[in-house]
Structures are given as C-alpha cells and as structure tokens.
Amino acid sequence: VKAAGWAFEYDNDLYPDVDDVAVIALVLNTLGAGRPAVERANRWLAAMQSSNGGWAAFDVDNDAYWLYNIPFCDFGAAIDPPSADVTAHVVEHLAAEPGYEERVRRGVDFLLREQEADGSWFGRWGVNYVYGTAAALPALAAAGIGPDHPAMRRAVAWLKRVQNANGGFGEDLRSYEDGEKGSAWRGRGSSTPSQTAWGLLGLVAAGEASSRAARQAVGYLVETQRDDGDWDEELFTGTGFPRDFLIRYHLYRIVWPVLALARVKQALA
C-alpha cells in the first residue's frame, strides 16, 4: 500500500501510526477539508487491519506473544497487537466512509469480542478501562450499533458503577497490574478532568446524554473548571507502555472536557 498518514512524534515523521491517522482523518471529515488526504489515509488504514479484525498502533499482525518467553526480553511491550482503543478510532472514522463496510464490520466484531465480562474495554494508550470504554462506545454507535444493544447496556452499567460520588471518573495506574491487584483498581481512582470526559463521552455515545450519570459528570467538569478556563490535573492519564511508563499529556485536561461537553450539547440540541 502507498505510504500515507501522520506520525505521533515531531522527530519521527516517517513512521505514521494508526491511531493518529484515524483521528486526524475524522477531524478533516468533520471540517469538510483535505478530502484527497483523507482518501489516502483510508486506503492505508484499510491495509493496516490485522487478520483478527482489529488495528494496532504501528504494525499488522505483530502479535507473537512467544517473544515474552525469551530470557532477555525484559521490556514489557515487545509486540504491537491490535487493541480496542485504536480499533475503535478507526471504526469511528471508516464507518462514515463508503466502500469500507467489510473493514468496519470486522472491526466491530473485534470490539464486541474484546469487551470485558464487566462491560468495559481495556485501554492500551490511555488509563485504562475508562479510556477503552470511552473509545469503543462512540465507534459502535458510529457503526450503527444502537443504545439498546447488550454490549452498549453492559458498558453503560459499568460506567455508572464506577462513577465517583463527586460525579467524576478516575482510574488508578494500578489497574494495569495483573490479577486481583489490577482488577481492584479497574475504573477506580480519584476523579480527573480527562477521565471524567472519557466517561461522559461513553455515556453520550450510548444514548445517555440526559441521564443522571451524565448530568453529574457535566457538573463535575463545570465545578472544577478554573476561572481562566483551564482545569487542574496532576495525575498521569496517558499510557506509553502499561506498567513501564505512563505519560501526562498537558492538553488532555482541556481538550477532552471541551470535546465531551460539546458532545453533550450536540446530543441534547
């Protein structure tokens, strides 16, 4: 396939990643701009779909888990398997693109298979199950999965269960740990603006914009906004490699709340 796309890093512009390409193409479509670039991106995204229907960040079918058995493999992320969050962003974009129906169908099937028993989705590139769930629900909605679908209802029920008493959402980095230690923190942690926005985005996509849970999340964001329009967020909510290094994206605390509040306004209009 002909090279196309956008890269994550300023000094690594020869290595585009699927997540950024999907989101940028989605934005360009929303603005009605850059159609030739979007079409090139679409072809590249289609070629990057793995055999199981999902998309990974950088590679196709890079899922050789046996590499972790090599004695000197002491770094946590040696492979790049498809993930729910990246797949969701591609599905959300391609669902509106004619000619990619089969790609979208396979992506939706991947997402439905990847849903956890509790209704959430794992977040590979954001902390963690709140992020994964917030990515999956808009994608399913864009692909025509209605709010009454069992997967949507299970996800909504999970979001409502883990919502904090102050209306916000938060998730501790320890949710990436294995076993009971990790599951105890799944969707649990101090409320943050970015994670609250993620929870709210998921609720809106599942038809819950007017629900009590959504109103409480909006209330949290409104009440915690500073007078200068910013929000305070000291916790790390971005993921580089789970359990190896996490990232604090300084614009997350602004961009995600603004997007979530805009989605609420749009849904209630």
Q: If you ran DSSP here, which 8-state letter would residue 71 be given?
A: T
| From 11, 17, 19, 61, active-site residue | 19
Distance between CA atoms of residues 234 and 204, nearest Å: 26
Q: Which of 123, 219, 205 is nearest to 172 (CA)?
A: 123
Q: Largest Cα–Cα distance of the chain, in whole Å?
A: 57
Distance between CA atoms of residues 175 and 211, nearest Å: 27
Distance between CA atoms of residues 169 and 221, nearest Å: 10
Are 172 and 184 within 8 A, CB to CB?
A: no
Q: Which of 162, 53, 171 is nearest to 123 (CA)?
A: 171
Are 59 and 15 within 8 A, CB to CB?
A: no
Assess whether 19 carries a catalytic annotation: yes
Q: Which of 99, 95, 107 is nearest to 51 (CA)?
A: 107
Residues with catalytic roles? 19
